[in-house]
Amino acid sequence: SLKGNSAMVRRQILSASACLVGVAGFAFAENKSKEAVALIERAKQLSDIRANGSPAFVLKGEFTILRDPDHPITGSYTEIWASSSLLRIEISAGDFHSTKVINDKKRWELSNASETPKDIGSAASRIAYQMGHLSLDSRGPAKIIDRHNGSWALRCIVGYDDGFGGQLELCFDSSGGQFVAESAPFISQGGELVSRCAFTDFQKFGDKLFPKTIRCLEGEKQLFDARVVQLTFQEPPDRSIFAALPGAKEFPNCPVQLKSPEAISLPGAEGTGGPVVLSLIVGTDGKPDGVKVETSAGAEMDKAALDAVRRWRFKPATCEGKPMESHINVVVTSQGLR
């Protein structure tokens, strides 16, 4: 009948519309991922001074940490780079001093502290501006948006929710393509805040562009200012500066991308509250070692998290298929791992 035919036609139209919406959604997601990849790859082409085959260089930077404005901490970062498997890094700030040397599959670290203070490590890593680390997680981008910050016109990749309502953002200059800003959520004792860093004052370095000025904030509070004071090419340096450091700890080094450890058993924390941020070393046997509290949630929850994580087991990180020690941070709540 005509009525029956009309109903059938409507069902076909609705079915076709749903199919088209699904196809359009898939195409949009695919285009979004392609644009995110293109933005990151363009920024690397412009600024990755450590790309394979790049010439040796010396990079020196200075920074001032302003967490306590009445007692600022000044420091320096020096990197002598010959290749990704031949480099030397020295960091100095206040009473802290550390030297790291990588030579092929070995790494030596010499420091007057058990670990690099967080603010000092953050300032040093921002000066380094390591484009090889620029990436999103495996879920890809949640969205890509335009932002305007003063005279800047930015194209920003926004990651997915980290589980606490925060999202990583990577922003690129719309006209030039340089990576110029990032924001990331982090857990503090006062709750969740956003860390934001801006990279400005780009200078030519061979056929690359590299930022000379870096400023980072936590929430609305300025955390540090940093600047590059030297970035120069040099002849291949004397290999003796990449020799083992007397008295230093020796570690294996992976000259290719390290495959991260995978959790295989995560007993829950028998406490209330959280989140607790813990750091740990996953050994080649898959057992955690050196578990420490990075951000506390109170003595009771801290102890519960420590007790739980020490019972966790992992498939260890691997380098070219061989098990290797690795350092990771985890966030634990009474509901489990985040």
Strand partners, 60: 78, 230
**Burial classification of residue 294, based on how many CB atoms lie within 10 Å of its CB (0-12 exposed, 13-18 middle, 19 or more buried):** middle
Three-state SS for 290?
A: strand
164 pLDDT higher than 70:
no
Q: What is the pLDDT of residues 50-95, one digit of tens each?
A: 999 999 999 999 999 999 999 999 999 999 999 989 999 999 999 9
Q: What is the pTM assigned to this prediction? A: 0.76
Average pLDDT over residues 289-299: 86
Contact yes or no for 165/138 (Cβ under 8 A):
no
Contacts of 291 (CB under 8 A, 6+ apart): 278, 279, 280, 306, 309, 310
Give the mean model confidence (pLDDT) for residues 256-264.
Answer: 82
Q: What confidence tens digit (pLDDT) does each residue in 20-49 have?
A: 444 444 455 678 889 999 999 999 999 999
Please name the residue that has the structure tokens 């990771």: 328
For the chain, percent of residues with pLDDT exceeding 90: 50
CB atoms within 10 A of CB 333: 20
d(CA 49, CA 57) in angstroms, rounded, equals: 9
Q: Are 144 and 32 in contact (CB under 8 A)?
A: yes
Question: Which residues face 293 on adjacent strands?
Answer: 278
Q: What is the pLDDT of residue 191?
A: 64
Higher pLDDT residue, 247 or 336?
A: 247
Asked whether the beta carbons of 174 and 39 are under 8 A apart, the reply is: no
